[in-house]
Structure 1
Amino acid sequence: MPFADLVGQDLAVSCLERSLDRGRIAHAYLFAGPDGVGKEKAALALAQALNCPEASPAPCGSCSTCRRIGEGLHPDVRRVAPAGNSIKIDQIRALGQEAYYRPLEGRRKVYLIAEAHKMTEEAANSFLRLLEEPPPYALFILLTSQPDSLLPTILSRCQLVPFFPLPLSLLRDKLERELGLARERAVLVAALAGGSWERA
């Protein structure tokens, strides 16, 4: 997914494209904002940009590498999500052991930590140790709607990329175009969604 496909998040896209243009990628990013506004899509686009053989520096979005990353099938891009109600220490320990190995196919290993605010205290402390001595080939992207729930020491070691609620007009047009809703219905659904495509 090229960054151009991330509608309504111009600031986040600009921040990531600038980092790629300069070749200055942080070892950890915090994508913070409401659910359903494109944080995970942006994380996948960044993973594609870092591993796409055709990146310029934006990913092509169509090569085998980009397609497999988008489909969750690339061996160097992993998603860690809560197991039940939380992300547990065993999940972070397993991630840490794996992260220190070189990438199998790509240039960088990328770890998406979904709902990062749901790490248990033990998991968060274990993850903090990873951030203090980051593996040379690994990039961590924490996705959260509740950044204040993360340890301050984790926040201070991540580069913040803010995401915002999607504009009502953008949601309305997307609902009409992609779901075929009538204008009046699309306006109502967009208004109730609170800026989130996921809730729409």
Structure 2
Amino acid sequence: MPIYFPGPAGVGKTAFALALAEAINGIDHLSDMGEYKSSKKSSWFTHPDIHVFIPMPTSAKIEELRNRLELLSKDPYEIIGFSQRPSLDDDSSKNLQAFYPIDYFRNDIRPVTKLKPNEGNRVVVILTQVETMRKEAANTFLKLLEEPSDRLMFILTTESYESLLPTITSRCQHIPLGALRDKEVEQGLIEVDGFTAR
């Protein structure tokens, strides 16, 4: 069953999706897999069975997507979205409308869903900001969900749960993510990062 992470901007939906994809395929990188590590790959970025897609402007090339995903591989909290960061080279304020057009879905996303796992347990397809999926792409995606493969897993993230077709969300396992309280952040900084309490 596809997994769906709704939640506000900045709560770590993409980082959580990447960590889950790695765990599914036994990669010891974003989380400590211990004895359950089964992959020799160093991260999701180098694993042939994990595919990450973000909304793209129609003018963008697939190489630009790769450059953004490479940044994400170095820091799972990096801002890589075309709408939020139109250029990786400068602080350009040019607003780019990024979405999942039907051609992007047909030419880049759908072919990946037909693959069989190469090294991992499943082919994992992560689609971020799925609320930007255009109607035609959403209908095509719905057809994929209606013909599920047991070796394929979708992980979806969104800031706007209400924007998706109910027929899509009803086929997904929902795991809502929320912001941490100040006390939880403080506790994490002390216990995980080794900061001292004031």
State TM-score, norm by structure 1.
Answer: 0.65
State whether structure 2 residue 9 is matched by structure 1 residue 35: yes
Answer whether contact 2:25 2:39 (CA < 8 A) is retained: no
Shift of 1:129: 0.6
Match of 2:20 among 16, 23, 46: 46
1:43-192 equivalences under 5 Å are: 43-52=17-26, 59-60=33-34, 65=40, 67-69=42-44, 72-84=45-57, 85-93=98-106, 94-172=108-186
Give CA-to-partner distance per residue, 1:6-57, whole Å, 9 cap, x none.
Answer: xxxxxxxxxxxxxxxxxxxx2x011111122122222122212221178xxx
Q: Secondary structure at the match of 1:163?
A: coil
Inter-partner Cα distance in structure 1 for 2:41 and 2:177:
23
- Counterpart code for 1:52: G
Aligned residues: 152
SS in 2 for 1:103: coil
Coordinate RMSD, CA, aligned: 2.9
After TM superposition, where is structure 1 displaced by more than 6 Å over at least 4 residues in a row?
A: 175-178
1:152-197 CA distance string (max 9 Å, x none) = 100111110111111122335667886x8x97xxxxxxxxxxxxxx
8 Å CA contact 1:48, 1:65 repeated in 2? no
Where relative contact order (Cα < 8 A, 6+ residues apart) is larger, the structure is 2
Q: Decide which structure has greater helix share.
A: 1
Counterpart-to-counterpart distance in 1, 2:160 and 2:40: 31
Please report how far the alpha carbon of residue 141 of structure 1 lies from its aligned counterpart in structure 2 after TM superposition.
0.6
Q: Percent identity?
A: 39
TM-score (norm: length of structure 2): 0.66
Relative to structure 1, the CA distance from residue 38 to residue 65 in structure 2 (aligned partners, 3 Å threshold; closer, same or farther) is farther
User: Which stretches in structure 2 are left out of the alignment for 5+ residues?
Assistant: 58-97
**More displaced stretch, 58-67 vs 102-111:** 58-67
* Deviation of the 1:118 alpha carbon: 0.6
Contact 1:59 1:66 in 2 (8 A): no
**AA of the residue aligned to 1:47:** A
Q: Work out the CA distance in 2 between the residues paired with 1:88 and 1:59.
A: 36
